[in-house]
A and B are shown apart, each in its own frame.
Chain A
């Protein structure tokens, strides 16, 4: 019966629904993992009391559900002096690219059925701009932040937004230059080619410097803790000070969706995508391999957050321009020389 339903159109709809739901579910799970993980790292217990029907506790997994319900039903106040239009669309601008970027990432092995080639990524792999698409959309995310900070009509918000955008722009350079190394080694911008090129040897081994630069820049791009200048929850005030209820949670969801996409991208570019010995012999196994790697990188986000304190702003800028950028250039030169004369 399932065989009859399998045609490119239904498969496409199926993929879109599954990926969208999976990403949003993973966002909820990530907030749970973040809080429980933080608690365990700090020898605490963490949220574990939310119970389904007042009985079943399931390690506090009901917490994201309860938080989501709370955010949905909170009163949505429009502050007096905000720019109404921009204030309302800023969270949307932030949220939509965050969920769209995952479309380009291949999360499993392509397979052939009834003579038709099926691929496991929402965008067809022969869109030649795979990597560029992701970076273009990821660059959109910063508009949400800066517009949100501006429209709030609050000096602390605009300062937070300025910090965030300066940081994202600085690290985007290093990040993109690191990726150029990967693109050179694969000879294509197509993400499926990049994954194919890593069969046998993952990029993290030959391009270790590039991987480190990309990994560090990922934290800056997603505004995660060692570079948490956009939000700065504990002492400096961030861009979404004036936001509440569902508008705030849109920013929140966008941050976590960005984390998931960044993890997916790191897995694709440096950890060999869905390749894994033995596991990737079947389609299901390749998806499982991809998800396991993605979850590991996602956990690294949380893990690093509770290990490192926040950088000072000038330290962040120095690291970005004087360390990360030269390092990514060195990586690029080494890779380019290798492929020009060695390989």
Chain B
């Protein structure tokens, strides 16, 4: 359907030039505004030189496996996170715990807990699914690897993720 707009231009609009000059004034004012703004205050954060400081707490970045103060893993290898994961990025191998720990009673713990950071879509479903608050997403966003293998990280790396943000 053709839409016919009823636009009436008066003589001043029809000569077109005043509108052009108005537009040119707007663009040049933006030009000088950006020119005289120091780089630290521009909208663009030039990444490797400057980093965004105020990443919100809820940002979903690098994973962390939480531990109790004494260093025991909170994870009980229940597979909730692996089941919830839509990207199939979590791989868990459990082991039975023979010696029953009085402080943190649990029957299973993960022997292998791997997250493929290249498959992960950082949706946070694992965090939602976890009954023990064992896995959280922190707000570290600089996740870079030089090979596919390096993107698969295990328990040792996951517990080392700094705690900022998440929970």
Nearest-Cβ distance from residue B44 to partner chain A, whole angstroms: 5
Are B27 and A45 in contact, with the CB atoms below 8 A? Answer: no
Q: Is B44 a contact partner of A303 (Cβ separation < 8 A)? A: no
Indicate whether B23 reaches chain A with its CB closer than 8 angstroms: yes
Of A34-42, A79-87, A174-182, A245-253, the one touching chain B: A34-42
Q: Which residues of B contact A308 (CB under 8 A)?
A: 20, 23
Q: A303-B24, A304-B24 are in contact. Are A41 and B31 (CB under 8 A)?
A: yes
Known: A43-B43, A45-B46, A212-B17. A37 touches B31 (CB 8 A): yes
- Report B3-34 CB contacts with A as 1/0, cut-off 8 Å: 00000000000000100100110111011011
Count of CB-CB pairs between chains A and B under 8 Å: 39
Across the interface, which residues of A come within 8 angstroms of B28, CB to CB? 41, 303
Q: In the bound complex, how far is the Cα of B28 from the Cα of A37, in angstroms?
A: 9
Chain B residues positioned under 8 Å from A45 (CB to CB):
39, 42, 44, 46
Q: Is A128 an interface residue (CB 8 A)?
A: no
| Binary contact readout B29-71 vs A (1 if CB under 8 angstroms, 0 otherwise) | 0110111000100111010000000000000000000000000
Q: Which of B17, B34, B43 has the most CB of A within 10 A?
A: B34
Q: Is the CB of A307 within 8 A of B30?
A: no
Inter-subunit contact A42/B30 (CB<8 Å): yes
| Residues in B neighbouring A39, C-beta threshold 8 A | 34
Number of interface residues of B (CB under 8 A): 17
Q: Are B27 and A43 closer than 8 Å at their CB atoms?
A: no
Residues of B within 8 A of A42 (CB): 30
The residue among A41, A212, A308 with the most chain B CB atoms within 10 A of its own CB is: A41
Interface membership of A44, Cβ < 8 A: yes
Contact status A306-B44, CB under 8 Å: no
Interface range on chain A: under 10, 10 to 19, 20 to 34, or 35 or more? 10 to 19
Q: Are A306 and B27 within 8 A (Cβ)?
A: yes
Q: Are B30 and A41 in contact (CB under 8 A)?
A: yes
**Cβ proximity bits A16-50 to B, threshold 8 Å, 1 near / 0 not:** 00000000000000000000010111111100000
Which partner residue on chain A sits nearest B46 by CB separation? A45
Q: Chain B residues with Cβ under 8 A from A304's Cβ? A: 20, 24
Bound Cα distance from A44 to B46, whole angstroms = 11
Question: What residues of B have a CB within 8 angstroms of the CB of A44 in the complex?
Answer: 34, 43-44
A-B contact pairs, 20 of them (CB 8 A): A41-B27, A41-B28, A41-B34, A42-B30, A43-B33, A43-B42, A43-B43, A44-B43, A45-B39, A212-B17, A303-B24, A303-B27, A303-B28, A303-B31, A306-B27, A307-B20, A307-B24, A307-B26, A307-B27, A308-B23
Measured CB to CB, the residues of B under 8 A from A are: 17, 20, 23-24, 26-28, 30-31, 33-35, 39, 42-44, 46
Excluding A45-B46, A307-B20, 19 further A-B contacts by CB distance (< 8 Å) are A40-B30, A40-B31, A40-B34, A40-B35, A41-B27, A41-B31, A43-B30, A43-B34, A43-B42, A44-B34, A44-B43, A212-B17, A303-B24, A303-B27, A303-B28, A303-B31, A304-B24, A306-B27, A307-B26
